[in-house]
Chain A
Amino acid sequence: MRMNTNLKVIIRKLLLFLALLVVVDYLAGSILKYFYFKHDPLIGASTAYVANYADQKLLVIGPSHALHHYISKQLADSTHLSCYNAGANGNYLLYSYAMLKCVLKRYTPKMIILDIRAEEFDVNPQGYDHLSVLLPYYDQHPEIRSIIVQRSRFENIKLLSKTYPFNSQLLSILNRNIYKNKNEFKADSLSGFIPLKDTIKTKFTGEYYKDVRTDPNYIHIYKEFLDDCLKRRIKLYVFISPILPEMHSQTSTIKIALKIANDTHVPFFDFSNDYRFKKNIYFFDNEHMNINGAKLFTSMVIEKIKQVK
């Protein structure tokens, strides 16, 4: 009898709690969604821009290397194609593929430059963790849901919450809506490209890359990326950007990526160990080139594209 009363009490409490949770979660999620997508997509938020608005003929897709190494204007001037740099800090191949899917849903660019890192296929949980930036797009973009849910085993359950997609986004939403970050303005005026100004002081010596296990999923995604582009007859070029430290041997990624590119006849260029870039003046840090390096590298990219044409 007492147990029944207790059970009734707890069920009543739980129901009230759950009802309130659903209401508050829905309200908070809706408010955050409104402010997340409210600001002008051209102001910062490269992801929002690429996913929903980009219409350029030439897109540069990739991680921070892409973002800082490919000067959109230089590429546009020489190829005579409108260009946008869709590179994103801290994001890797899964993100790049998601961006491609969003773009292909709306239109077909003429040319895509895909930048991958020399260790792109290595086991790297961050490649999955950082997909969090795509969570706000889960509702709007069904085409990338299969990628987003790879974040974790229970991502589908977490996404039942309307607030969860905006996890860790609160300050960025406030900032974009109130202050409008200066860097983001800079990015807009340069069609996505963000230049780095400083020069590295001390170069890393020693073995920069240690080959670890590769993640078959990353390799699969790379293949899918190439296939999707080829199916839509997009001119695709795969580049590996220069890094400052010497590499004593080719990484597994480079070998695998090169083989897949050759098999599918996609032009592939590996600059990771290019001696012309092994100078401090071209680099901001060991992996990212500054504006001097970006200018030189972009001109070499243009050269390679012209050679292929």
Chain B
Amino acid sequence: MLFNSIQFLIFFITVVTAFYLTPFKWRWLLLLVASCYFYMAYIPVYILILAFTITIDYFVGIYLERTKGRVKKLLLIVSILSNIGILGFYKYYNFIAGIISALLGHVGYRSNIPFSHFILPIGLSFHTFQALSYIIEVYRGNQKAEKHFGIYALYVMFFPQMVAGPIERPQNIIYQFYERRKFDAGNVSSGLTLMLRGFFKKLVVADRIAIYVNVVYKDPVGSDGKTILVATILFAFQIYCDFSGYSDIAIGAARVLGFKLVTNFNRPYLARNVSEFWKRWHISLTTWFRDYLYIPMGGNKVKLPMVYFNLFFVFTVSGLWHGASWNFVIWGALNGFYLIFLKLTKKFWPVFFRITYLDKLPWLKISLQIIVTTSFITISWVFFRANNLSDALIILKKIVAFNGVVMRAEYQLFYCFIGILILLIYEVKTEYFNRKFSLFNSSNIFIRNLSLVLVVITIVLLGVFDGGQFIYFQF
């Protein structure tokens, strides 16, 4: 079920009403049934895969708590392998089969490795990582094993965040299922406002931009350099608004029900360097990799060359998490490379800002930092969005050539700019002038409501209502 559909609105209103009317002891069941229904709206039979991993992880969690030493480690490995095994089969089988076939072809063998025709279960990477997070935390002793099967299943399947995050930690969410949630006007109001922000990002910005970007990236050979550049810049906003829009709706929906999910995006395009960008972008995934891969590898507490290797490795794996193709691997590796470069030049930048007097012009300095950071990130998005590696290279070449004209596509480009402009004004205002010109949090109830009504009208007027699903669903 898509968040940006009338079906979801009907579903959500029904669930919220039923949730607050249901006695506390049955609410977990209501949420679990609702989550199953939500998930089964895609490919119903795939719920069996979820049921399988949930059952394994549930029992592994309980036994992990009771055992010690090698058996404990063995249980951890069993759980990790079963989760990663399913993810690997559905997501990476064809990629690996392709690599093996190509390698065998190079040494003269004709391989007949069959390719899989299974459709990737929606949000598989997300709930796999959420399940792994639980198992690792129980293994580490930071989280007690959940004895209530229904609550554990709900932890993996909680409908607002099950298909595209935020990837929750057990410490943050499981205890909330046990807390008596009282109907709170503040929660409902702020949750709905957050959902509205998400709908604006998705419908007005992301889906509008998608119309332009899809045309250009479908045929990069036939598109002019200037058009490709514009499409690439637009894609940076599309992916942000698509994914953070989903997160906003997810967090808002959970908040209406009284649950608090982790923040997933924090105005990433206002980051002043790539390192800061990754602290603001897809925070739940970045911290997942930090806690469960980067730090166990030694993190920053190893020799400098190993720190660089760790960074590069983790970001490359993160790229692979996003998709089974070389494009995603390169995208991840490129971001790892940016971070290494930033670490290598750490001492240079303060000197540079001093000798160029940018230190004395803080606004100019911040603006330049934001522009440079966003430019580097935008270049990496080319690999993320392009259909294949050769398309990505053509796109980069054409951007450098900067030839031809910018395709206007009637009014599409203008609509894109209007959406982006509204978004940027809101983000800059929130980042730098949070206490000033507050409309959505105005003490005047009329102004507050009118501001929200105007957002709704803007969505109705400028939004794309026949747009597709969220980009991150495919992960």
B116 partner residues in chain A, CB cutoff 8 A? none
Q: How far is the CA of A137 from the CA of B347 in the complex (A)?
A: 64
B interface secondary structure, majority: helix
Nearest A-chain residue to B6, judged by Cβ: A154
Tell whether B454 is near chain A: CB-to-CB under 8 Å. yes
Given A2-B182, A158-B465, does the pair A163, B457 have CB atoms closer than 8 Å?
yes
Annotate B165-188 by CB proximity to A: 1 below 8 A, 0 otherwise.
000000000000000001111001
A24 partner residues in chain B, CB cutoff 8 A? 450, 453-454, 457
Q: How far is the CA of A2 from the CA of B463 in the complex (A)?
A: 38
Tell whether A307 is near chain B: CB-to-CB under 8 Å. no
B452 partner residues in chain A, CB cutoff 8 A? 17
B463 partner residues in chain A, CB cutoff 8 A? 167
Given A161-B460, A167-B460, A171-B414, does the pair A20, B453 have CB atoms closer than 8 Å?
yes
B183 partner residues in chain A, CB cutoff 8 A? 3, 6-7, 10
A32 partner residues in chain B, CB cutoff 8 A? 461
- Of B184, B457, B461, B462, the most chain A CB neighbours within 10 A belong to B461
Given A28-B461, A161-B460, A171-B411, does the pair A21, B466 have CB atoms closer than 8 Å?
no
Shortest distance from the beta carbon of B445 to any chain A beta carbon, whole Å: 7
Tell whether B111 is near chain A: CB-to-CB under 8 Å. no
Annotate A128-153 by CB proximity to B: 1 below 8 A, 0 otherwise.
01001000000000000000000111
Annotate B444-475 by CB proximity to A: 1 below 8 A, 0 otherwise.
01100110111011001111111000000000
Inter-chain contact B461/A10, CB cutoff 8 Å: no
B456 partner residues in chain A, CB cutoff 8 A? 21
Shortest distance from the beta carbon of A30 to any chain B beta carbon, whole Å: 13
Inter-chain contact A6/B415, CB cutoff 8 Å: no
Inter-chain contact B449/A20, CB cutoff 8 Å: yes
A153 partner residues in chain B, CB cutoff 8 A? 6
A152 partner residues in chain B, CB cutoff 8 A? 6, 465-466
Q: How large is the interface on B (under 10, 10 to 19, 20 to 34, 35 or more residues)?
A: 20 to 34
Tell whether A164 is near chain B: CB-to-CB under 8 Å. yes
Q: Which chain A residues in 101-140 approach chain B with CB under 8 Å? A: 125, 129, 132
Given A168-B464, A170-B462, A171-B414, does the pair A13, B457 have CB atoms closer than 8 Å?
no
Shortest distance from the beta carbon of B350 to any chain A beta carbon, whole Å: 46
Nearest B-chain residue to A181, judged by Cβ: B410
Q: Which chain A residues in 65-121 approach chain B with CB under 8 Å? A: none
Inter-chain contact B449/A16, CB cutoff 8 Å: yes
Tell whether B189 is near chain A: CB-to-CB under 8 Å. yes
Tell whether A157 is near chain B: CB-to-CB under 8 Å. yes
A interface secondary structure, majority: helix
With beta carbons under 8 angstroms apart, the residue of B414, B415, B446, B461 that contacts A163 is B461
Shortest distance from the beta carbon of B221 to any chain A beta carbon, whole Å: 11
B415 partner residues in chain A, CB cutoff 8 A? 168, 171
B465 partner residues in chain A, CB cutoff 8 A? 152, 158, 167
Inter-chain contact B185/A13, CB cutoff 8 Å: yes
Q: How far is the CA of A28 from the CA of B455 in the complex (A)?
A: 13
Q: How far is the CA of A266 from the CA of B98 in the complex (A)?
A: 53
Given A154-B6, A171-B414, A171-B415, does the pair A163, B184 have CB atoms closer than 8 Å?
no
Shortest distance from the beta carbon of B194 to any chain A beta carbon, whole Å: 15
Nearest B-chain residue to A151, judged by Cβ: B466
Nearest A-chain residue to B456, judged by Cβ: A21
Shortest distance from the beta carbon of B457 to any chain A beta carbon, whole Å: 6
Q: How far is the CA of A167 from the CA of B465 in the complex (A)?
A: 9
A175 partner residues in chain B, CB cutoff 8 A? 411
Q: How far is the CA of A16 from the CA of B466 in the complex (A)?
A: 29
Tell whether A246 is near chain B: CB-to-CB under 8 Å. no
Inter-chain contact B445/A163, CB cutoff 8 Å: no
With beta carbons under 8 angstroms apart, the residue of A7, A10, A21, A168 that contacts B453 is A21
A283 partner residues in chain B, CB cutoff 8 A? none
Inter-chain contact A17/B449, CB cutoff 8 Å: yes
B7 partner residues in chain A, CB cutoff 8 A? 154
Given A3-B182, A13-B185, A171-B415, does the pair A157, B461 have CB atoms closer than 8 Å?
no
Inter-chain contact B188/A10, CB cutoff 8 Å: yes
Nearest B-chain residue to A130, judged by Cβ: B466
Shortest distance from the beta carbon of A44 to any chain B beta carbon, whole Å: 13
Q: How far is the CA of A9 from the CA of B6 in the complex (A)?
A: 26
Annotate A267-288 by CB proximity to B: 1 below 8 A, 0 otherwise.
0000000000000000000000
Inter-chain contact B411/A172, CB cutoff 8 Å: yes
Q: How far is the CA of A30 from the CA of B177 in the complex (A)?
A: 47
Chain A interface residues toward B at CB < 8 A: 2-3, 6-7, 9-10, 13, 16-17, 20-21, 24-25, 28, 32, 125, 129, 132, 151-154, 157-158, 161, 163-164, 166-168, 170-172, 175
- Add 16 more A-B contacts to A21-B456, A168-B461 (CB < 8 A): A3-B183, A10-B185, A10-B188, A16-B449, A17-B453, A20-B450, A24-B453, A25-B457, A152-B6, A152-B466, A154-B6, A163-B461, A167-B463, A168-B464, A171-B411, A171-B415
A to B CB contacts below 8 Å, 29 in the list: A3-B183, A6-B184, A6-B185, A7-B183, A9-B185, A10-B185, A13-B189, A16-B445, A17-B452, A17-B453, A21-B453, A21-B457, A24-B450, A24-B457, A125-B466, A151-B466, A152-B6, A152-B466, A153-B6, A157-B6, A158-B6, A161-B460, A163-B460, A164-B460, A166-B461, A168-B462, A170-B461, A171-B414, A171-B415
Q: 7 closest pairs, A vs B, by CB?
A: A154-B6, A9-B185, A171-B411, A10-B185, A6-B185, A129-B466, A20-B453
